[in-house]
Structure 1
Amino acid sequence: MLVLVGALLAAGSAYAAGGRYLGVATCAGSTCHGRAEGNGAVVRQDEIATWQEPNSPSGAHSRAYAVLDSLRGRQIAATLGIESATSSSQCIQCHATPAAAGERGARFQLSDGVGCEGCHGPADRWLATHYTVSGNHAANVAAGMVPLENPQVRARLCLDCHYAGSQAGQFVTHKVMAAGHPRLSFELDLFSALQQHHDADADYVARKGNLSSIRLWAVGQAEAVRRAMAVFRDPARGSQGLYPEFYFFDCHSCHRPITDGPQRRLTFETNPGRPIPFATPPFNDENMIMLSVAARTLAPDQAAGFNQATAAFHRAMGQGRPQTVAAAQQLEAAAGALSDALSRRGYGAADGFRVVAAIADRTTAPRFTDYAGSAQAVMAVDTLLNAMVREGRVTVGAAAGIRASINRAYTAVATPESYNPGAFRAALSQAARSIGALQ
């Protein structure tokens, strides 16, 4: 089991094996990616400026190391007994490009945060040839560049930090969250759009293919479930002494107001997707809900099997660790099969509309009883609408008219404390109906 889990966790980093990291400065020349204006003939060439943007999500990776020395970063480190977060492997594996000391070139700096090579792979073997006339993408990949146009590869790489990876420090445990680290969430298409520093123009499509947003979203959900199950099954990570590792559970099923009075006040709604005994803390199933939607609309021949595996996993949570691990293995396999199917299939104009409708329909909406799953749902509707606009299926003006409904759904999940399931479902339903009317 450990060998299989380790292989899966390492899958996103396989292309980086044995390379040397040269640092952001090696990419930042004005004839490469360091221009002030994106007017390059083949690529924009202002990618560094986008990566460094100080006030937008596109610059989040460049700011990742600096936050370790912020007030919040220092407080977390102090609580965990870490002398300095900026030099601790518990932190820099995700807050900087994860290069071991012996893999760092002369211009590599941890203070760059998650630099170019954090996603594209160590550049020593492909940096000097990737921009030449005779160079091509296949040769770059063979030399160690990560093929991020492959949605499975991209998802697995991102999940190393945005869920858990194989390196020490690539897992934000409940202990780290209790010290003050923010809750992690993962949605591949939205995250990709926020970080995108290239134009998906005809040249990009000719070299790397057409990267469908709905494919990214669907495969990302499948790989997130697959990774969650792999990490959960790992005995070194799945438990903390007597207790399970609480990171896996839905935070807000426990972190709710507690009152002691003569009349009970229930603070939960029964969730039809979670066949668990009363008062059992539920596993965080935000990606399972979305993957169920993807299966039902995009891979219907696998939907029933996946839903059965999900229900069996939740049911096993009330039975014991051995039963749950066995169920997790089955769910991991079902998610992996869906990832393969969703990665291979073609996508048409109607697929996005069908997925949006299914997210808010009577089958799925009753599962939005908790904050995490609801936040995942509104991110999906938002990113799929944006994709429809980019692909010319919805006009900018029509999308702007729907924005108010999506914003109401975002408002409903603005904070866990103010989350209201009924208000969220109503806002999401209105947004989905408005999008469907544009088809």
Structure 2
Amino acid sequence: MGAGGTIADRMLGFALLAVIAAMALVALGIGLSPSTPPADAQAPAKGVHLGVASCSGSTCHGRQEADGKIVRQDELMRWQEPSTPGGAHSRAFSILSNARSQQIASRLGIGAATSAPMCLGCHSAPASQRGPRFQTGDGVGCESCHGGASGWIAAHYSVGASHRRNVSLGMVPLENPRARASVCLDCHFGSADEGQFVNHRIMAAGHPRISFELDLFSTLQQHHDEDADYAQRKGRSNNVRFWAVGQAMALDRALGLYANPGLGQEGVFPEFYFFDCHTCHRRIYDGEAAVKTGVRNPARPIPEGMPAFNDENMIMLSAAARVAAPGLAQRFDADSRAFHAALAQNRGAAVAAAGKLRASANALADAFSGAGFGRAQTFQIIETIAGEAINPRYTDYEGSVQAVMAVDTLLNALVNSGAVSNGAAGAIRPDINAAYAAVKDPNAYKPIEFRRSLGSAVRTIRTLK
């Protein structure tokens, strides 16, 4: 999916966000073209997890070299890479024993993190899905992404096996952007399932901030080659499509969980996990010469002093819609503003507005799933992300992080499609890294300086046209 040194560069830039540690929390997937046979966007019924050992035979995925005729067959070794983002899932359980995890568990009063259901839902697998031979210590294993294997493990290597049949038996169609995003978001944002929602209390206890971008995280976790055989079975991946659909599905998930009465409230308060951290976590000045630290966001019609719903995915979708789904762009922006405004009224109004915005996000996901996202469109989306219509919305850290990840992802997509050479992209890496540096430290984030940095990076990318 990535192109040679470009992936390594993206890893470096991503590390600047100090978010890679959070990748040990989750399940990712691995790509769709308009010619791909349609697959159900919803994940199939969850099967029982048999454990990593069930996939590790030397004739299956446990080889030391990538010399398989159809798949690499060294996937287990790549999953276990000890010190790279590619091995983060295998380290998901072991990280629960480190000092930080122990401190978090102690503050929450949940006992040992290694046995707390609150942690194991993402750092391993929910108890309800584990088979008798499943090893909790395997962390986020193969089945966390591909689906519990009890229904499909024997069929998927049998004579005459097909990907379509595997999917019908419970394998997750990860080449489908909607299906992949649904799996990843269970932990990289949260779900209503057992141990898969990182609420504000957990964050306050010291848990890393949750951040997600489907195509970037997929690239960092990819354990397969997209060769001719892969294309014949599953179609060619389109990185921009994965990015755009991932943004829509992330917003859908956020709004769905917010509307859930069991998750949307924390006692008498709203669940603050859904809100933008920086609208509350700002420096306090008590003196007469108080300094206003917030910057007004023109897309959030909320009263001064109210916490704002985290709109990072709304911002990216607004940019993508202007280019790839212009017929839906105005509706989406109107529904976004209406949702923000409803938050200042009451929970009932906010939940109703969330439902409308969610429908708009899903309409965009449908439109993006059929979009070609060629060279011209990709350049145009990059320009729009930093353009005059979107730029004033970078008032808080989360949206700005999402913007720089998007620019990096879209540039990488141009390289993967052959529209930009690896050498040309590498030559402007310093500008991309400068944008990453502008969001390296959330406590040092300055909106105006970030906008300048992002604009500079995009102007440099423009020279590649």
Calculate the TM-score normalised by the size of structure 1: 0.94
User: 1:39 is matched with which residue?
Assistant: 67
Q: Which position in structure 1 is the counterpart of 2:79? A: 51
Q: 2:79 is aligned with what amino acid?
A: W
Provide, for residues 308-352 of structure 1, a one-character-per-residue CA deviation record: whole Å limited to 9, x for no partner: 000001111222212111111111111111111111223322221
Q: Which amino acid aligns with 1:175?
A: R
2:44 aligned with 1:15:
yes
1:159 aligned residue? 185
Q: Deviations over 1:21-54 (max 9, x none)?
A: 2111111122211122222221111111111111
Measure how far apart 1:196 and its partner are: 0.6
* Aligned twin of 2:194: 168
The letter of the residue matching 1:241 is: G
Deviates more, 1:243-252 or 1:131-140: 131-140
CA 1:206–1:99 in 2, change beyond 3 Å: closer, same or farther? Answer: farther
1:209 alignment partner in structure 2: 235
Query: In 2, are the aligned partners of 1:23 and 1:105 still within 8 Å (CA)?
Result: no
List aligned pairs for 1:356-375, cutoff 5 A.
356-375=382-401
Residue type at the aligned position of 2:103: Q
Amino acid at match of 1:422: I
Number of aligned positions between the proteins: 426
Q: CA deviation at 1:420?
A: 1.7
* TM-score w.r.t. length of structure 2: 0.89
1:349 aligns with 2:378: no
C-alpha deviation, 1:12, in angstroms: 8.0
**Alignment partner of 1:230 is 2:253:** no
Q: 8 Å contact 1:38–1:46 — kept in the other structure? A: yes
Q: Does 2:134 correspond to 1:111? A: no
Select between 346-355 and 77-86 the one with higher mean Cα deviation: 346-355
CA contact (8 A) 1:13 1:157 kept: no
- Worse-matched range after superposition: 88-97 or 253-262: 253-262
Q: Give the letter aligned to residue 44 of structure 2.
A: Y
Alignment of 1:268-347 (within 5 A): 268-347=294-373
1:181 aligns to what?
207
Partner of 1:73: 101
Q: What CA distance in whole angstroms lies between the structure 1 residues aligned with 2:126 and 2:207?
A: 19
Distance 2:250 2:119 in 1: 21
Higher relative contact order (CA 8 A, sep 6+): 2
Stretches of structure 1 that go unaligned for 5 or more consecutive residues are 1-10
Counterpart residue number, 2:433: 407
The letter of the residue matching 2:220 is L
Cα deviation for residue 385 of structure 1 reads 0.9
Give the CA deviation at 1:127: 1.7
Counterpart Cα distance in 2 of 1:125 and 1:237: 31
Which of 172, 176, 200 is 1:150 aligned to? Answer: 176
* Residues in 1 aligned to 2:48 and 2:302: alpha-carbon distance in whole angstroms: 48
Question: Which residue does the alignment assign to 2:409?
Answer: 383
RMSD: 1.4
Q: Is the 8 A contact 2:126 2:195 kept in 1?
A: no
TM superposition shift of 1:13: 7.4
- Map 1:241-260; keep pairs closer than 5 Å: 241-260=267-286
Change (3 A) 1:88 1:12: farther
Question: Which residue in 2 is equivalent to 1:4?
Answer: none
Identity percentage of aligned residues: 56
Counterpart contact for 1:16–1:122, Cα < 8 Å? no
Structure 2 unaligned spans of 5+: 1-39
**Alignment match, 1:28:** 56
Runs of 4+ deviating beyond 3 Å: 11-14
8 Å contact kept, 2:43–2:183: no
In structure 1, C-alpha distance between the alignment counterparts of 2:243 and 2:269, rounded to whole Å? 33
CA distance in 2: counterparts of 1:28 and 1:105, whole angstroms = 17
2:244 is the counterpart of 1:218: yes
SS at match of 1:350: helix
